[in-house]
Amino acid sequence: MQGQPATGKAPVTNAATAVPPDSFNRYGKIWVPSDDAAHPIKLNVQFPGVGDMKIPSQAELNERDKLEQLATLSDADIHKQLDAWPPYSKMKLGDQGQLLQRIQAFKDLRARVALQKARDMGLLTLLPDQQARFEQEYWDKQLQMERTLAKQFEPVWKAAQQKMEGDLYREFSSPTQGPQAPKAATAQQDKPAASTPSSTGTNQPVAQSPH
């Protein structure tokens, strides 16, 4: 091409390399932008939630209610609640810090999920006080719905699990259960066993496996 020196090297450009539109999502949207310039993408996979269907128990829902109560408190009130909790005073300083970090992470996740739900519903112009009120009402209604559905579906879920486990147990509990032999081999096994001479000169039938 005229005007370009023949250096044998491709010209340096800031343009991104063209890739097929779906190449980044081959395994799903499991990545997010990274702050590392050398590695502009980082993995964002939540385990074990991918494809995992689960009906929460009433005990788990009660634990969630306790977290919800903490999440709605101010930082000062959270400290008061924890200081009044006997196990908290027996923890090491590092364990106390980890507990506070988890509470903060739960509060952040709670707010982020509610805000995304509002956007998905088309509520794009909520004021800050409206966001806080939407977050509270969203989780109140969401948790009430989950508790009602869990109560309805828990017996169905348990019955389906018991049936599945029973089917698997019956399939694999028999010691003689194994992969089916090919038809040719099965037909060969069905023939009468041939007699073979023993070391004493008498004919002794070949032992067959028990059915």
7 in a structural domain: no
199 in a structural domain: no
pTM of the model: 0.53
Residue 140 β-bridge partners: none
Distance CA 26, CA 168 (A): 34
132 in a structural domain: yes
pLDDT digits over 105-136, tens only? 999 999 999 999 999 999 988 898 899 899 99
139 in a structural domain: yes
13 in a structural domain: no
Collapse the DSSP code of 43 into the 3-class scheme (helix H, G, I; strand E, B; otherwise coil) and give the result: strand
102 in a structural domain: yes
pLDDT digits over 183-203, tens only? 554 455 555 554 444 444 444
Give the count of domains, the chain.
Answer: 1
61 in a structural domain: no
Q: Which domain holds residue 137?
A: 71-171
pLDDT digits over 74-103, tens only? 999 999 989 998 889 899 999 999 999 999
17 in a structural domain: no
Q: Please report how many Cα atoms fall inside a 13 Å half-sphere around the Cα of residue 118, on the Cβ side.
A: 22
